[in-house]
Amino acid sequence: LILSDYLEIQKLATTPPKQQANQQTETDMPQKCRRTGPAECTAAAAYLKSLPSAGQTALKKAAADSTQLRRNLNTTLAKLLPGKSKLLEPAEIEEKKQKIATALKKAVYGGQGTGAEPKLLGAGADRRAHCGTKAAAGSSAKLSIGVTIACLCASGSNSDNSNTACYKTATTSQASWASGSAMTDWDVIAANCKSEAAPHQTATAQELRHLMNKLNSLLYEPKGNDGTIGYIGNPDSGNGAAACSGNHTAGAGACATFTSAANTIALPTWFTELENAATAAEHYEQRAQEQATAEAMIEALNETLAAALHITTLPKEATTGATKAAAKQISTSKLKQQEAEKECNTKGKDKQDECDKLKPQGCVFNPKGDEGKKCTLSEEGKIAAEKKAEKPTEGAKPGVNCSSHTTKETCEAVPGTPPTGKAKVCGWIEDKCKDSSILVNKHFALSVVSAAFVALLF
């Protein structure tokens, strides 16, 4: 929008806010703004006003340019659009994390996962009912991991007292096995489990899937001398597996069952919540990866945009050389993209599982692709290949390469005439030495990459 109607946007940018508020009628707006309303123009004017003088000058010259430069700018801006859509807002990140946490809390505590300790949410008045028998799942154990662990670790007040199945010190006796009762020694059990388990900062999708596989394997381990399945825990092995009463004798013991009949496994409710948590974690991790790729793409395109705008600040004699260099860069970029595409085609072998292994290289599987090319280079992969082909484009003038300097002192000591409005030829920005003539950061991309900006460029 700025490039297509620079003078009008500049006029709006220099209009006092109060007067600007009174000029919001359609006829007061530039012709191209009338399609989308005053908001786009106002945002463009605010952005233009926020730029340093060097940035405003570069945009003004680009707006007056009628050559390939504007087309290049338009193409670059259009490429930024997909990148913007992949960026996550802080609220969206928090929402995705909360979805994982909620599913895990439901799995551990049962119900809506809002309790501070697991309770006996199922029907029954004794340990057998809540922890399970050979033919029926524990009414409470199937609803939460917390009760399942308690069925393995808790002591009772009868023959199931002094339980040391989980750690050396016997647990406190469970006060009551009536429905609705809290697990008496839960805090101690949880603390001991935490000290025994390997430390994990986050529950990744891979870790959750691994945990589910191990739990599923436990359910199929034969118990007792009759090889009964559907148990987690350690019932007495000298007899046929029996009820999970906590008393380690006659096939019984400290355990939990997940069956609908003898030797018929029925996965517990909390297993479904683990599945929900793993799926949510996979979605979050995928979006996080997309965000990282998008940020890299935006950074690369920003550099391209900065270089293109920088050309407008060069003398005419320097512009010719810059244009030739740009043409050479485009040729190199295409070659790199072709090489990366060929590698996807060759290593992917038209098989999705093989292609998925190449995702870090930017490959993506397209089942509708031509034979031999179903594993192809994604748009993000093309950007990465383009960036790989780039050579340092910084340099305040021919012969000066800001990016070659690795310390702030040597960077700011580069000799030469600084650009208008700048104190140094090169500047130390984001721990890198860059040309100080035009500084285009991620915020630049996000502010100009509105659909209206690109659509109204011509």
391 has a pLDDT exceeding 60: no
Of 26-30, 321-325, 426-430, the poorest mean pLDDT is in 321-325
Average pLDDT, the chain: 78
Residue 400, token pair as written in the block: 């000066």
What local confidence, expressed as pLDDT, does residue 24 receive?
Answer: 52
318 has a pLDDT exceeding 70: no
* pTM exceeding 0.85: no
Helix (H, G, I), strand (E, B) or coil at 363: strand
Distance from C-alpha of 94 to C-alpha of 102, rounded to nearest angstrom: 12
Name which residue leads in pLDDT, 123 or 185: 123
Distance from C-alpha of 451 to C-alpha of 72, rounded to nearest angstrom: 17
What local confidence, expressed as pLDDT, does residue 74 receive?
Answer: 66
> For the chain, how many residues are written?
458
Cβ-contact 139, 123 below 8 angstroms:
yes
Mean pLDDT throughout 331-344? 77
Mean pLDDT throughout 219-233? 95
- 426 forms bridges with which residues in the sheet? 435
Domain ranges of the chain: 117-267, 329-387
Short-list 436, 443, 395, 451, CA closest to 54: 436
Residue 249, token pair as written in the block: 């004798």
63 has a pLDDT exceeding 60: yes
Distance from C-alpha of 110 to C-alpha of 145, rounded to nearest angstrom: 8
What local confidence, expressed as pLDDT, does residue 452 receive?
Answer: 29
- 232 forms bridges with which residues in the sheet? 256
